[in-house]
């Protein structure tokens, strides 16, 4: 994707006579668009194959939106980042459906929600926003904006989960969406912790060694 975005950016820059700085900006924007389209396409494709397209998309987007404000560890390789995200999204979307059908009791989603959101809120309050060594957040106003944004997103997720659980009392499909939302929140929260950063760092190192 990086080579494709750079190639397209180069063609656009040459035709419009842009300098290298503008070319880099175009390439970065195109890379983001290509990555988004690829992630959505593959998530939907695998989601349909495993019977969980809606749950997988919700899980994936819940991670992406919260990450935008809270920060967190991520792979230096776009391919590895995409693979990890896809595997987690599909596997835990499938688990969401399994939990919904295996445990019909009302206490189950309530218990899962209370524990999960308690962990997420504590982590968010203590650590958000988490920057990356390659892209440190030096601006204090930006950190404050990101922190407020992460709290707003988490508040929205909490309310959304409550809504899904209430509806899920009569319609189990909505309960599976609630679980998917929780698993998305937990994964993003995990990437904000030292353990999550260590895991993704080791995956990066192993990928580099194999190259």
- Residues 6+ positions from 184 with CB-CB distance below 8 Å: 58, 59, 60, 61, 62, 63, 66, 92
Q: Token match 């445990």: residue?
A: 103
Could you tell me the two tokens for 148? Answer: 């407020």
Collapsing DSSP to helix, strand or coil, 71 comes out as: strand
Residue 208: the pLDDT is 56
Alpha helices for the chain (secondary structure H)? 2-16, 20-49, 53-70, 78-102, 107-127, 140-168, 172-191, 194-210
Residue 3: the pLDDT is 67
At residue 36's C-alpha, the angle toward residues 30 and 39, to 5°, is: 135
Q: Domain residues of the chain, as ranges?
A: 1-49, 52-210
- Name the nearest CA neighbour of 181 among 95, 98, 58: 58
Residue 37: the pLDDT is 85
Residue 152: the pLDDT is 95
Specify the pTM.
Answer: 0.84
Q: Is 196 left (phi over 0), alpha (psi -120 to 50) or beta?
A: alpha
**CB of 78 closer than 8 Å to CB of 41:** no
Question: What is the residue-level pLDDT of the chain in tens, covering all 211 positions?
Answer: 666 666 776 777 767 666 777 767 777 677 778 777 888 899 999 999 999 999 999 999 999 899 888 887 776 667 777 888 899 999 999 999 999 888 877 788 889 999 999 999 999 999 888 876 666 777 788 888 999 999 999 999 999 999 988 876 667 788 899 999 999 999 999 988 888 888 877 776 766 565 5
């Amino acid at each position: 994707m990086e080579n494709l975005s750079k190639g397209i950016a180069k063609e656009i820059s040459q035709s419009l006579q842009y300098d290298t700085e503008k070319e880099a900006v175009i390439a970065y924007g195109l890379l983001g668009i290509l990555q988004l389209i690829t992630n959505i396409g593959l998530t939907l494709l695998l989601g349909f194959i495993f019977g969980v397209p809606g749950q997988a998309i919700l899980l994936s987007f819940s991670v992406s939106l919260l990450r935008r404000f809270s920060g967190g560890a991520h792979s230096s390789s776009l391919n590895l980042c995409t693979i990890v995200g896809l595997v987690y999204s599909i596997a835990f979307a499938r688990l969401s459906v399994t939990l919904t059908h295996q445990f019909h009791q009302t206490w189950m989603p309530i218990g899962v929600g209370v524990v999960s959101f308690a962990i997420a809120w504590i982590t968010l309050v203590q650590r958000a926003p988490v920057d990356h060594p390659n892209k440190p957040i030096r601006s204090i106003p930006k950190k404050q904006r990101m922190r407020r944004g992460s709290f707003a997103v988490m508040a929205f997720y909490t309310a959304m989960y409550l809504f899904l659980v209430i509806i899920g009392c009569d319609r189990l499909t909505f309960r599976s969406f609630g679980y998917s939302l929780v698993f998305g929140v937990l994964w993003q929260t995990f990437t904000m912790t030292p353990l999550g950063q260590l895991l993704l760092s080791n995956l990066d190192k192993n990928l580099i060694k194999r190259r």
